[in-house]
Amino acid sequence: MANIGKLARRGGLYTLLGGFAFFGAFPFYWMVIATFKRDHDLFSPLNNPFLFNEPPTLDHLRLLFFETHFTGYLVNTLIVGFAVVVITLATAVPAAYALARWARGWGESLGIGIFLTYLVPPTILFIPLSRFASFFGLQESLWSLILVYPTFTIPFCTWLLMGFFKTIPKDIEEQAMIDGLSRFGAMTKVVFPLAISGILTVVVFSFTLSMHEFIYALTFISVSAKKTVSIGVPTELVRGDVFQWGPLMAGALIASIPVAVVYTYFLDRFVAGFTMGAVK
């Protein structure tokens, strides 16, 4: 009897998890199907939509890569993501270090203050920032995105890195200074290498958050060749009012999966930043 109860609980657990996994992943399964389905099969309402009623095809992928700007969107996304990572590292790493190390009291408050600016949403800032962009002649330029995206990466990453630096004991750098390194040298040669996992986390987030961003890109960029994937795919793969579902789904899928794999690996650290002091 005990075994049956255990079996039932096991079955219940798998059903529950299966249900949630289905809910989370179904839209992406749906993209896979549409990516490889022939148009004729895709647009026959009587065909079973979950299966391939006709042999699969690579037509949509060919169209996506050779007849749209999709590869351009990917390249633009990489350029913006890379530049944002550089700016974020250059500003957030030193700030976080200084806040975590030297500034008691006001450092903590300033750190929290910086984190709170993360809560000022793009939906309030995009109208004035669009004027900034046009004032500096940066509309339709990737530079507008490169300069604006750090507004959400710097606050969050500074906060995240403060946590990392606090876990590195002060003795290590004090010892390094006794050994003859300067204050600055102790920081760059001893502490930063120890914080490498935190720095890597910041690299991943700055890149993924830039890639996810939608509102600024939608507002600043309207020339197809300059778009990033997050706006290029939803706005450009439409002819007139007709969505090109095959290439559209293929593009969404191809851009989503790699970033999702990396992000999944780092998500726990990301969330540790959100929860701040609420779990200790």
Partner 1 sequence: MTPPARPDSSPPSYRGGVFDRQDTLAKLLIAPAVLYIVAMIGAPFVLAVLYSLSNATTGDPSLHLVGLRNFTAALEDPVFRLALRNTFVFTLLSQSIVIILSRILANALLKPFRGKWLVRFLILLPWTAPISLGTIGWLWMYDSIFSPIDWVLRYLGMLGTATALLGPQTNMYWLGVPGLAIASVILVNVWRILPLATVIQLGGLSSIPRDLIEAAEVDGASPWRRTLMITIPLTLPIVSIAFLFGVVFTFTDLVVVYVLTRGGPVQTTQVLSSWTFFKGIEAGDLAQGAAISLFMFPVLAVVAIFILRLARRTEVV
| Footprint (CB under 8 A) of partner 1, residues 191-210 | 208
Using the contact rule CB under 8 A, the part of the chain among 52-60, 136-144, 189-197, 271-279 near partner 1 is 271-279
- State in angstroms the smallest separation of the CB of 28 from partner 1: 6
Q: What is the x/- site pattern for partner 1, positions 10-29, by CB under 8 A? A: ---xx-xx--xx-xxxxxx-
Interface positions, 120-149, toward partner 1 (CB under 8 A): 120-132, 147-148
Placement of tokens 């203050």 in the chain: 113
| Interaction of residue 117 with partner 1, rule CB under 8 A | yes
- State in angstroms the smallest separation of the CB of 203 from partner 1: 16
Compare residues 78 and 215 and give the one whose CB is closer to partner 1. 215
Counting residues that bind partner 1 (by CB under 8 A) gives 104
- State in angstroms the smallest separation of the CB of 67 from partner 1: 19
- State in angstroms the smallest separation of the CB of 24 from partner 1: 5
Compare residues 195 and 253 and give the one whose CB is closer to partner 1. 253
- State in angstroms the smallest separation of the CB of 225 from partner 1: 19
3 state SS for the chain: CHHHHHHHHHHHHHHHHHHHHHHHHHHHHHHHHHHHCCHHHHCCCCCCCCCCCCCCCCHHHHHHHHHCCHHHHHHHHHHHHHHHHHHHHHHHHHHHHHHHHCCCCHHHHHHHHHHHHHHCCHHHHHHHHHHHHHHCCCCCCHHHHHHHCHHHHHHHHHHHHHHHHHCCCHHHHHHHHHCCCCHHHHHHHHHHHHCHHHHHHHHHHHHHHHHHCCHHHHHHCCCHHHCCHHHHHHHHCEECCEECHHHHHHHHHHHHHHHHHHHHHHHHHHHHHHHHHHCC
Look up residue 167 and give its two tokens. 């876990």
Interface positions, 206-245, toward partner 1 (CB under 8 A): 208, 211-212, 214-215, 218-219, 229-231, 233-234, 243, 245
For partner 1, the binding residue among 1, 2, 51, 178 (CB under 8 A) is 178
- State in angstroms the smallest separation of the CB of 93 from partner 1: 9
Interface positions, 70-109, toward partner 1 (CB under 8 A): 90-92, 94-95, 97-99, 101-103
- State in angstroms the smallest separation of the CB of 256 from partner 1: 4
For partner 1, the binding residue among 45, 55, 193, 240 (CB under 8 A) is 45
